[in-house]
C-alpha cells in the first residue's frame, strides 16, 4: 500500500497552481473534491473542467486529471488539480486532501517513489533535479539527455559485462577442472582497461559538468577605472543575460548570476585592486583577493586593463593576481582609444587576450566565444555523457580504481578470487551510480535536495 501524498508542484504566485497527488487513494481523493461540469465523467488521462467543493462550498473551477497506475510518473495512481493560483485556494485544496487521509509530500518524494518503483534509475532521478534547477539552456539540455537514459543504459551494460566476467572467473574457482589459462585473459584485460578509460574520462568531465550545472565563480578584476563596471553592464545588456539571485547550496551568500551563451558565471563583486593605506579600502582589496583566489581555483578570472594608457605598476599587480588562475582572460579594454605601449606582455601571462570596448560594446561576442572555449561549454556531448555531480564523479573514480586493480592483479597472475574481489567492488560501485546497490542514507540525501512537489 502506497500512502497517498499531495503537494503543490508549482511555484507560488503564478496564475495556475497545480496540486499533485500520488498513491492508492489518488483517484478517490480527487473524486471527493472535484465534480466535472457537463455530462462526461472523469476519464483516465483526460484533463477535465469542473468544480472543486470543500466542506460544501465551491472554492474553484479548475481542470483536473487522473492517471491510473502503473503508467504514471511515480508508478502509482496519480492525480492533478490545476487550480487558479490563489494561495488561499491552494491551501484549502491541500487541507481538504489531508483531511481525506493524504499527507504532505516530502521534498523529492514523487521522484523518490518513481525511483523505488523502477520508473527511473538514480542517475536519471538526479537529472530530474538538475532539470528543475537548470539555469541555462545547455544545462537543461544536458539534464534532459541524462533523463533520456543513455548514460543509465551504458552503466547498466557495463555492470552486466562485469558480472559476466566475474562468472567466468567463478567457474574456474568452483570447478577445479577449469583452468584460469583457459579463460580469454587478454580479452578480459582489454575489456577492463577500456571500461576504466571510459569511466576516467567521465570522471574528468565533472569539472565541465559542474560548470554547466552550478555555474563557475567569476571575478572581474582590474585597477580602478579600467572599466570593470562598464564591462559588467555591457555583458548584462549584451546577451540578454539573465541575472538571478541563486542562494547557493553550499554558500550562505547570494550571488549575481550572468548567463553567457550557455555558460553560467557567478559573479563576485570586487573592489579595485591597488595598494592602499586607507583601512576601509584595504578590507575591500582583501575581499577582492579572496574572490580572485576562489575564482582562480575553480572558476574564471576576467582581468580588465585600460588599453588607453600605458601598462602601469597596478596593471602588473593585476597580472600577478591572475597568473595562477586555472582560467584567466585578459580584457584589453578601451580598444577604441588603444595605445600600444607594453600590452604585448599580456600574452605571456594569459591564455587568452581579448581587445574590446566595453563602452561601445564592441568585442563582446569574441569574449563570449573565448570563455565558451576556455571552459569547454561549447562542445557538449549530445548523449548526456557529462558528469554533473560530485556523488557521480566520486563513484566513477572508485569504480575505475577497482577496475585498475583488477587489471593489474590479472596481469600479475594473482589468483582468480583476488581478481573477482576487485571486479565485485567495481560492480557494487557501478550499482551505486544507478541505484541498483545503494545505501538508503545516500538515497535520502539525494532526494532531500529536491523541491517539494517534484
Ligand atoms: P571601474 O572602476 O573599473 O569599474 O571602471 P568604470 O567601468 O567605472 O569605467 C571608468 C571609466 O572608463 C568610465 O568613464 C567609463 O565610461 C570609461 N570606459 C569604460 N570602458 C570604456 C571603453 O571601452 N572605451 C572608453 N573610451 N571608455 C571606457
**276: Cα separation from own chain's centroid:** 41
Say if residue 245 carries a ligand binding annotation: yes
**Amino acid 258: pLDDT:** 82
CA-to-CA dists, residue 234 to 65, 132, 230, angstroms: 47, 29, 6
Measure 373 CA to ligand 1 centroid, in angstroms: 26
List the one residue out of 283, 343, 281 whose CA is nearest residue 318: 343
Q: Residues 195-218, buried b or exposed e (16+ Cβ, 10 A)?
A: bbebbbebbebbbbbbbbbbbbbb
Residue 63 has pLDDT above 70, yes or no: yes
Choose between 99 and 343: higher pLDDT.
Answer: 99
Which atom of ligand 1 approaches the CA of 223 most closely? 3
List the one residue out of 232, 370, 226 whose CA is nearest residue 311: 226
**Amino acid 113: pLDDT:** 95
pLDDT band at 197 (very low <50, low <70, confident <90, very high): very high
Per mean pLDDT, which range of 194-198, 227-231, 374-378 is the poorest?
374-378
Q: Which residues, judged by CB distance below 6 Å to any ligand atom, belong to the binding site of ligand 1?
A: 222, 224-230, 272, 333-334, 336-337, 357-360
Choose between 422 and 298: higher pLDDT.
Answer: 422
86-94 average pLDDT score: 94
Q: What is the pLDDT of residues 178-194, one digit of tens each?
A: 676 677 888 898 999 99
Say if residue 282 carries a ligand binding annotation: no
**169: Cα separation from own chain's centroid:** 39
Q: What gap in Å lies between CA 286 and CA 271, rounded to an integer?
A: 9
β-partners of residue 82 are: 18, 63
Measure 238 CA to ligand 1 centroid, in angstroms: 16
β-partners of residue 194 are: none
Measure 228 CA to ligand 1 centroid, in angstroms: 7
Name the grid cell of 276: 592602499
Per mean pLDDT, which range of 90-94, 237-241, 396-400 is the poorest?
237-241
List the one residue out of 206, 211, 215, 217 whose CA is nearest residue 328: 217
Q: Is the pTM of this model over 0.80?
A: no
If DSSP codes are grouped into helix, strand and coil, which group holds residue 183?
A: coil
Domains annotated on the chain, with CATH = 5-105 (3.30.1360.120), 127-205+385-448 (1.20.120.430), 214-375 (3.40.50.300)
Close Cβ partners of 344 (under 8 Å, ≥ 6 residues apart): none
Q: What is the ipTM of this complex?
A: 0.99
Amino acid at each position: 500500500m502506497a500512502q497517498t501524498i499531495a503537494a503543490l508542484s508549482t511555484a507560488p504566485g503564478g496564475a495556475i497552481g497545480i496540486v499533485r497527488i500520488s498513491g492508492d487513494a489518488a483517484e478517490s481523493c480527487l473524486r471527493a473534491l472535484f465534480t466535472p461540469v457537463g455530462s462526461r465523467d472523469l476519464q483516465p488521462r483526460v484533463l477535465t473542467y469542473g468544480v472543486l467543493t470543500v466542506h460544501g462550498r465551491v472554492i474553484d473551477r479548475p481542470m483536473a486529471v487522473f492517471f491510473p497506475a502503473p503508467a504514471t510518473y511515480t508508478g502509482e495512481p496519480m492525480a492533478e488539480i490545476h487550480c487558479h493560483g490563489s494561495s488561499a485556494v491552494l491551501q484549502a485544496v491541500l487541507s481538504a486532501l489531508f483531511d481525506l487521509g493524504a499527507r504532505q509530500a516530502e521534498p523529492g518524494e514523487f521522484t523518490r517513489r518513481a525511483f523505488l518503483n523502477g520508473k527511473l534509475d538514480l542517475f536519471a532521478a538526479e537529472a530530474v533535479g538538475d532539470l528543475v534547477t537548470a539555469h541555462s539552456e545547455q544545462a537543461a539540455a544536458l539534464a534532459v539527455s541524462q533523463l533520456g537514459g543513455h548514460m543509465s543504459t551504458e552503466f547498466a551494460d557495463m555492470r552486466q559485462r562485469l558480472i559476466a566476467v566475474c562468472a567466468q572467473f567463478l567457474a574456474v574457482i568452483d570447478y577445479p577442472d577449469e583452468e584460469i589459462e583457459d579463460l580469454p585473459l587478454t580479452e578480459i584485460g582489454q575489456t577492463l582497461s577500456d571500461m576504466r578509460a571510459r569511466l576516467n574520462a567521465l570522471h574528468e568531465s565533472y569539472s565541465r559538468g559542474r560548470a554547466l550545472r552550478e555555474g563557475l565563480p567569476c571575478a572581474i578584476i582590474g585597477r580602478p577605472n579600467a572599466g570593470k563596471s562598464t564591462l559588467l553592464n555591457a555583458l548584462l545588456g549584451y546577451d540578454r543575460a539573465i541575472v538571478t539571485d541563486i542562494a547557493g547550496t553550499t554558500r550562505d551568500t547570494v550571488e549575481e548570476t550572468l548567463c553567457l551563451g550557455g555558460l553560467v558565471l557567478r559573479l563576485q563583486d570586487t573592489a579595485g585592486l591597488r595598494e592602499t593605506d586607507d583601512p576601509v579600502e584595504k578590507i575591500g582589496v582583501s575581499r577582492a583577493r579572496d574572490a580572485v583566489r576562489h575564482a582562480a581555483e575553480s572558476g574564471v578570472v576576467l582581468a580588465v586593463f585600460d588599453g588607453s594608457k600605458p601598462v602601469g605598476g597596478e596593471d602588473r599587480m593585476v597580472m600577478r593576481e591572475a597568473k595562477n588562475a586555472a582560467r584567466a582572460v585578459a580584457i584589453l579594454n578601451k580598444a577604441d582609444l588603444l595605445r600600444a605601449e607594453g600590452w604585448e606582455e599580456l600574452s605571456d601571462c594569459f591564455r587568452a587576450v581579448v581587445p574590446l570596448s566595453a563602452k561601445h560594446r564592441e568585442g563582446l561576442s569574441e569574449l563570449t566565444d573565448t570563455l565558451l572555449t576556455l571552459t569547454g561549454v561549447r562542445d557538449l556531448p549530445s548523449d548526456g555523457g557529462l558528469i554533473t555531480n560530485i556523488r557521480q564523479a566520486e563513484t566513477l573514480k572508485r569504480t575505475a580504481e577497482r577496475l585498475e586493480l583488477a587489471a593489474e592483479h590479472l596481469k600479475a597472475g594473482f589468483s582468480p578470487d583476488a581478481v573477482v574481489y576487485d571486479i565485485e567492488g567495481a560492480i557494487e560501485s557501478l550499482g551505486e551510480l544507478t541505484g541498483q546497490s545503494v545505501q538508503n542514507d545516500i538515497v535520502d540525501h539525494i532526494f532531500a535536495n529536491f523541491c517539494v512537489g517534484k
